[in-house]
Structure 1
């Protein structure tokens, strides 16, 4: 191992330099020239993608900085989708942020700078192989997102959402840190690989490990937005500017999934029987409460927030299906990890699928919004097909994908997760997930019905920039194509996860 090897963090180094340069350049730009900041931000993402793709193409796993950083296929694939997500968010939110005065003032480019620093934290989380680097990345991401939620300083709803997010986010970070400290106290190591070895040796007091694991899963549950740690999600989604809501609801989910794999699978796989039971509870509660509560919502952002909680339930289902028990002749239950790579790759595929679909839904909400009006109520979508059949078709495809209607990619993702759960022999859990999806179909199809069969209330013309229109169309096409032909992305996730677990 070469501890001076900088290759695993070339993308992070480039992003730090580029973001700092963007911050300095933006100070000397007038509001009329804010497009330069936008273009430079997209250039920073392209540069990061280049370095990460070169590393991903090599297909190797590299450790550096005394095992604190790891570059592996899973991490690199998640990073590539993170860049794509943030870039598309910038395209969707450019006009939206301008209309609401979020790009004005001497530091008007702070939206882009904070988003890039938040993404830097996500990249650190994805590549972390140590408790310290995980927490460093988590706090860097969190502090930037707290500031983003409060970016409209004169808007009371945004300020309230920022306060709630900050207080509950700090509580979640405290849970996570306390869990890490208990695991460190029990094992004497911060390194995840060494942690797995010490836990599997059987020399560590199991009581302390279980207590640490409980706090760890609670902290991860907060960051994922799983029930019963979901209180912040609907209020923050609704109170944030829609561009910020998209930054909160998309890319961070990939980073949080990555640290779930790093902590629970790579660090605590010997305790899988313990944390899988916790994941099952989170999954069942999230699917039930998320879907049932979403039915009562008339605000589309709140509805999508509860939808997010339910979607996280499917990710948790796949996470709890990785290790099964095999009963021996003497009555002992031995762990079987044959289903680990398919289950965790299904969770990874589901996370990517959800993020790609979420991009389009919130992007369309921003398309319909205009200066002085937020198109976030369900009534704002009434008769959309008569105003713009194209946008109504795009939203229909996205709603079908979230509902899991074939041939959208959401159906392929749900099927992949259900297959892994069924492989564990828990038929009741599979049936429960299917029934929860049927409940979810009601509020997704209600949006479709509102667009195609209700009379429009707003007849104002929809004016959309060409770049946003093109990206929105490509977003919807991607959701459709990856549903019809899910094989390449599924195989990429399985290959990346298999190589990562093997290392």
Structure 2
């Protein structure tokens, strides 16, 4: 492979880097009245990246750039899905930012750079490139959380996120250094081969695994490393919360696949038990604490924690069906979360944030259509058939039963029943309570259209689950 062809599998990342820089440079010289061009350029950058991805997709898995980068079917799937999610996030954010005098190119530039970090994490074949992608994404997200400079709550959330993120990253790097000392390599393929040759109960490997898992669990928001999640979800402006709750979750899934499955797969027996503890704690704390929340963004934060528990169940199964279920659940959750946060943006307006559960009172009287969209999303998150969330939960529970961990499936069902309460509470407020206000919903036609499609997609993929299941079949 010549020097130029080594970069071909990373064409999308290269294009995205130049596109983000272009948006940044153009935005510097744009007058405020033409700021919308930064938005259009950002969307064009995402669309162009997706086209480059499709055009340069390798027929077989390719490891390049001295073993630091891998292009395979999993990376292709997650990157294309990331492009779709980021484009929807940018669209949802436009009117929200404009109404609050926050319509600046920085949001879109930071979003594109965070997307670049996600791409690098997805295709990482080395602990070093994984760390590089993690930092690119994390630093962008720290700045996005503090995007509203006039909000003390946003500044506080950004500081908490930064400090706790730095601690988690330190743990990840410390574990990586021990892993390098034991295996003599940072290449995930080589780490897997040498871990196979070593005793799976080697104390040094177990210590390395423990520290690395702290970093992975933090990025995922699994209990007990979830402390940052509710504060960041509440403190950040809703478009940023939407980005963290959707695109960043795809990066977390990629991180856990690359580190645990590709790199430390021979230690499955060890990390599966650790993930089992994290999964049960996440489902328990997420579902129980969410019941006490009156802020819907905090409620969705704890809901995210509970969903993370289900994703971890799929990964710990350690089988092809388990890995496919984990990917399926993540993609399903991202679709549902995008619609949920999109509804919050729809109900918000200048000077008013629809963050309290009470703000959803009587929504059916104000807009029967969007009340129905929110109902579909809430029922799907609760796991009500025949919606998307039901099949996501079913596939994960079937995977853990298949490997003989029936008690985990029982725990998942029990906590799902508990979690149904706070989802149904939102439905009750929308349909059975009198509205607090009768003002019509004010939103652009593009937001209304995409949000409607987003909600209907939750219904359609539930009625026809094979559409998404066929996509996840690429996972091996």
Q: Tell me if the contact between 1:91 and 1:468 (Cα under 8 Å) persists in the aligned partners.
A: yes
Residue 415 of structure 2 is aligned to residue 436 of structure 1: yes
Residues 171 and 211 in structure 2, CA contact (< 8 A), matched pair in contact too? yes
Task: After superposition, give the CA deviation of every residue in 1:137-195 in whole Å (9 maximum; x if it has no partner).
Answer: 00000000000001111110101101100001111111111111110011110100000
Partner of 2:26: 25
Q: Conserved in 1, the CA contact under 8 Å of 2:146 and 2:158? A: yes
Equivalent residue number for residue 41 of structure 1: 42
- Asked whether 1:382 is paired with 2:361, we answer yes
Check conservation: 2:79, 2:122, Cα contact below 8 A: yes
Match of 1:88 in 2: 88
Partner of 2:381: 402
Alignment of 1:157-306 (within 5 A): 157-202=153-198, 206-306=202-302
Shift in CA distance, 228/205, structure 1 to aligned 2, threshold 3 Å: closer
SS at match of 2:317: coil
Partner of 2:29, secondary structure, is coil
Residue in 2 aligned with 1:325? Answer: none
Q: How far apart in 1 are the matches of 2:447 and 2:59?
A: 34
8 A Cα contact 1:186 1:205, kept in partner: no
CA distance in 2 between partners of 1:203 and 1:282 (Å): 24
Aligned to 1:425: 404
Q: Could you say which residue in structure 1 is the equivalent of 2:111?
A: 115
Cα shift readout 1:302-355 (whole Å, capped 9, x = no counterpart): 000000000000001111111xxxxxxxxxxxxxxxxx2110110001000000
* Residue 361 (1) aligns with residue 357 (2): no
* Alignment partner, residue 454 of structure 1: 433
Aligned to 1:155, which of 151, 156, 168?
A: 151
- 1:465 maps to 444
Contact 1:321–1:424 (CA under 8 A) maintained in structure 2: yes
The yes-or-no answer on 1:416 pairing with 2:395 is yes
Q: In 2, distance between residues paired with 1:280 and 1:302?
A: 25
Give 1:204 deviation, angstroms: 8.8
Q: What is the DSSP-based 3-state SS (H/G/I as helix, E as strand, rest coil) of the residue aligned with 1:320?
A: helix
1:72 corresponding residue in structure 2 = 72
Question: What does 1:310-389 correspond to in 2, within 5 Å?
Answer: 310-322=306-318, 340-389=319-368
Change in Cα spacing, 1:2 to 1:126, as seen in structure 2 (3 Å) is: farther
8 Å CA contact 1:18, 1:44 repeated in 2:
yes
Shift of 1:54: 2.9
Give the conservation status (yes or no) of the 8 Å contact 2:349–2:442.
no
1:451-471, CA deviations, whole angstroms, 9 ceiling, x for partnerless residues? 011000021221111111110
Q: Could you tell me how far apart the structure 2 residues matched to 1:479 and 1:296 are?
A: 26
Match of 2:141 among 141, 145, 151: 145
d(CA) in 2 for partners of 1:480, 1:178: 44
Distance 1:2 1:484, change over 3 A: farther
> TM-score normalised to the size of structure 1?
0.93
RMSD: 1.2
What is the Cα deviation at residue 30 of structure 1? 1.6
- SS of match in other structure, 2:70: strand
Q: Distance in 2 between matches of 1:55 and 1:350?
A: 27
CA distance in 1, matches of 2:378, 2:293: 16
With over 3 angstroms needed to count, the CA separation of the structure-2 counterparts of 1:68 and 1:115, relative to structure 1, is same
Change (3 A) 1:420 1:453: same
Q: Which secondary structure state, in structure 2, belongs to the residue aligned with residue 70 of structure 1?
A: strand
Distance in structure 1 (CA, Å) of the matches to 2:433 and 2:78: 40
Counterparts of 2:13 and 2:69, CA distance in 1: 11
2:15 corresponds to = 14
1:124 and 2:103 equivalent?
A: no
Number of positions where the alignment pairs a residue of Structure 1 with one of Structure 2: 475
- CA pair 361-204 structure 1, distance change in 2 beyond 3 A: closer
Provide the secondary structure at the position in 1 that maps to 2:147: coil
Per-residue CA deviation, residues 458-485 of structure 1 (Å, 9 max, x unaligned), is: 2122111111111011101111111111
Shift of 1:11: 0.6
Q: CA deviation at 1:256?
A: 1.1
The 2-side partners of 1:177 and 1:3 are apart by 30
Give, in whole Å, the separation in 1 of the partners of 2:3 and 2:422.
52
| Closer/same/farther in 2, CA of residues 409 and 185 from structure 1, 3 Å limit | same
Contact 1:193–1:267 (8 Å) recurs in 2: yes
User: Deviation of residue 488 (structure 1)?
Assistant: 2.5
CA distance in 2, matches of 1:431, 1:289: 16
Counterpart CA distance in 2 for 1:448 and 1:243 is: 23
Contact 2:71 2:123 in 1 (8 A): yes
Q: Structure 1 pair 54/488, CA: closer, same or farther in 2 (3 Å)?
A: farther
Query: Could you tell me how far apart the structure 1 residues matched to 2:458 and 2:200 are?
Result: 47
